[in-house]
Amino acid sequence: GDATVALTADGARGTRSLLVQGRTQSWNGAAVDVTDVLVPGTTYTIGLWLRLPAGAGEAGLRVSVQRDVDGVASYETVTTVERVTSQWTQVVASYTPGRFDTASLYVESTGSLTDFLLDDVLVSGVTYTPDLSLPSVADALADDFPFGLGIEPVDTLGGRGDLAAHHAVQITPGNQMKPESVQPAEGTFTYGDADLMVDWALEHDMRVYGHTLVWHQQTPAWFFERDGAPLTTSTADQALLRDRLRTHIEAVADHFRDTYGEYGTPGNPIFAFDVVNEVIDESQPDGLRRSEWYRVLGASYVADAFRYARAAFGPDVLLFINDYNSEYPDKRAPYLRLVTDLLAQGVPVDGVGHQLHVEVGRSVPMIEDTIEAFEALPVTQAVTELDVSTYRHAGEQWATPPADRLLEQAYYYRDVLAMLKRHAASLESVTVWGLEDSRTWLRAGAAPLLFDGALQAKPAFWGVVDPSRIGATPTPTATPTPTPTATPTPTSTPTPTATPTVTPTP
């Protein structure tokens, strides 16, 4: 960008630092080429010191990595410090890169154009080796339902890939099949990372659950514009948006058929797809989210999407609707009503997905009530994005959860899986949303998954595989009134993998 850098005589721990000034865009900053430093799939600790010039007030700064693959750039957040002042602040975070041709590490701001100083940038890596002698989660659950993992391309590399392949029989690509990844500009389709993940699944004899065709997030703005202006509810604009919806779905279906063969054949591992994701808003009179899709087309786009998907994918791909917080009665009711109405109209809904982003203490009977409610309909169901945060409420914060909370999490996983097994005949699969804790989409310290950042099994793993090996029963604590999950399916901007260590210089 337009920024300039200069050495100063004010260091965080020495006598020099780098001053970044003259920024005209928030992404302007100091960058260093780390192509020959980083290795895909290796976890790194990135440390540096930041401050603003005297008198500059405060601002948010972000440490980021740009990865370029086959000429396509991706931008990933390593960590964000919301409040940097004129006092030196140390920042330490973890980062695991996916594949790249070139990579650079840089510091940018979250919105301001302030000057800033940085010093003592250190990148150190460690290679973790998983214990593949442990029982496979998929094998432990094989008599009940297939076990899947929601993963990113980085999770197919090295020890991470070994761990995922050992424990799962299906994968859900976290972001690679979402609209902004597949069709960032109208008529421009990119499938590189999506194909990479399907290829990896084939190599390891896995199924692929596609995610997602229609969503209110991670959908490019052009979908809802004509010549740069927002679409209206005119007949012409509605026809344009329906055509774009149909074209997108057909293009995705055709690509994976042309690349891997007809659906339902051994060469094509895609067996299911989230057609419509997170359309329920229980606060609305009709229970539907007021998205751009809804603004232009009204409720009809949901049925249209399923009909287009059936025509494009054929009968051998299960078509799912998917949502979060479906265990809460207020969300369950409009979700159930919508699916019931769609089926009554002959809309080809094959399955209902329950994300189950929950926390320790979330009512398991409440989850079961939802599964039982949908058992009355002629659909299959799936747990699509299960994770269990160790935080009970937003006021809790830690770098590492207390031992008793990890035990509580393990017993919670045990109870959820025991309940799901009672309904195995109704479940197409159960998927945990992430491989290990350091790359969860949740805030740092939530530690919601079965493996820790070093790829080692946690008590939660044994809660799923063999509860007799969890350990001591945790001391019971009061269960707060459950609060709906605030943020659903993760977006393409990676969640910071560690909470910044903020240490102002005395």
The confidence score (pLDDT) of residue 505 equals 36
The answer to whether 385 is a known catalytic residue is: yes
CA distance 474 to 348: 45
The confidence score (pLDDT) of residue 484 equals 52
Residue 131 predicted with pLDDT over 80 = yes
CA distance 155 to 292: 33
Which amino acid, one-letter code, is at 155? Answer: D
Q: Is the dihedral of CA 438, 455, 417, 209 positive or negative?
A: positive
Question: What are the backbone angles phi and psi of residue 193, rounded to the nearest 5°?
Answer: -70, -35
Among candidate residues 108, 323, 387, 437, the one labeled active-site is 323
- The C-alpha angle 448, 79, 113, rounded to 5 degrees, equals 145
φ/ψ region of 69 (left if φ > 0, alpha if ψ in -120 to 50, else beta) reads beta
**What mean pLDDT comes out for the span 186-215?**
98
The confidence score (pLDDT) of residue 479 equals 44
Packing angle, helices 300-313 and 235-260, rounded to 10: 30
DSSP label at 426? G
Domain limits, CATH 2.60.120.260, in the chain:
4-126
Which amino acid, one-letter code, is at 460? Answer: A
Place 493 in a pLDDT band, splitting at 50, 70 and 90: very low
β-pair type (102-109, 31-33): antiparallel
φ/ψ region of 459 (left if φ > 0, alpha if ψ in -120 to 50, else beta) reads alpha
Is the distance from CB of 114 to CB of 107 less than 8 angstroms? no
CA distance 86 to 53: 5
Among candidate residues 180, 274, 278, 428, the one labeled active-site is 278
**What mean pLDDT comes out for the span 84-106?**
93
The confidence score (pLDDT) of residue 301 equals 99
CA distance 342 to 303: 7
The 10 Å Cβ neighbour count of residue 277 is 24
Which contiguous run of DSSP H or E holds residue 337?
helix 329-344
The 10 Å Cβ neighbour count of residue 496 is 19
Sequential DSSP letters for 242-293: HHHHHHHHHHHHHHHHHHH-STTSTT--EEEEEEEE--B-TTSTTSB---HH
Domain limits, CATH 3.20.20.80, in the chain:
137-469
H-helix segments, 87-191: 137-141, 158-167, 179-182
Place 494 in a pLDDT band, splitting at 50, 70 and 90: very low
DSSP, collapsed to helix, strand or coil, labels residue 431 as strand
Whole-number Cα distances in Å, 477 to 62, 142, 408, 416 = 37, 33, 9, 18
Q: Give 423-448 pLDDT, tens digit per residue.
A: 999 999 999 999 999 999 999 899 99
CA distance 35 to 38: 6
Which among 456, 460, 506 is positioned nearest to 163, based on CA atoms?
456
The confidence score (pLDDT) of residue 1 equals 67
Place 285 in a pLDDT band, splitting at 50, 70 and 90: very high
Residue 500 predicted with pLDDT over 50 = no
The answer to whether 203 is a known catalytic residue is: no
The confidence score (pLDDT) of residue 70 equals 86
CA distance 79 to 64: 7
CA distance 54 to 171: 50
CA distance 167 to 450: 11
Q: Give 145-191 pLDDT, tens digit per residue.
A: 999 999 999 999 999 999 999 999 999 999 999 999 999 999 999 99
For the chain, the first-to-last Cα distance in angstroms comes to: 34
**What mean pLDDT comes out for the span 239-264?**
99
Residue 478 predicted with pLDDT over 80 = no
Which contiguous run of DSSP H or E holds residue 118?
strand 116-126
DSSP label at 58? -
The answer to whether 278 is a known catalytic residue is: yes
Structure tokens at 11: 């260091």
Which contiguous run of DSSP H or E holds residue 32?
strand 31-33
CA distance 491 to 226: 25
Residue 341 predicted with pLDDT over 50 = yes
DSSP label at 493? S
CA distance 498 to 210: 28
Contacts of 233 (CB under 8 A, 6+ apart): 295, 296
The confidence score (pLDDT) of residue 471 equals 80
Q: Give 35-77 pLDDT, tens digit per residue.
A: 999 999 888 999 999 999 999 999 999 999 999 998 888 899 9
137-469 topology per CATH: TIM Barrel (3.20.20)
Residue 223 predicted with pLDDT over 90 = yes
The confidence score (pLDDT) of residue 71 equals 86
Among candidate residues 108, 155, 385, 408, the one labeled active-site is 385
DSSP, collapsed to helix, strand or coil, labels residue 482 as coil
Lowest mean pLDDT among 295-309, 361-375, 410-424, 472-486: 472-486
H-helix segments, 379-502: 403-422, 459-465
DSSP label at 185? B
Full-model pTM: 0.86
Is the distance from CB of 128 to CB of 159 less than 8 angstroms? yes
Domain 4-126 superfamily per CATH: Galactose-binding domain-like (2.60.120.260)
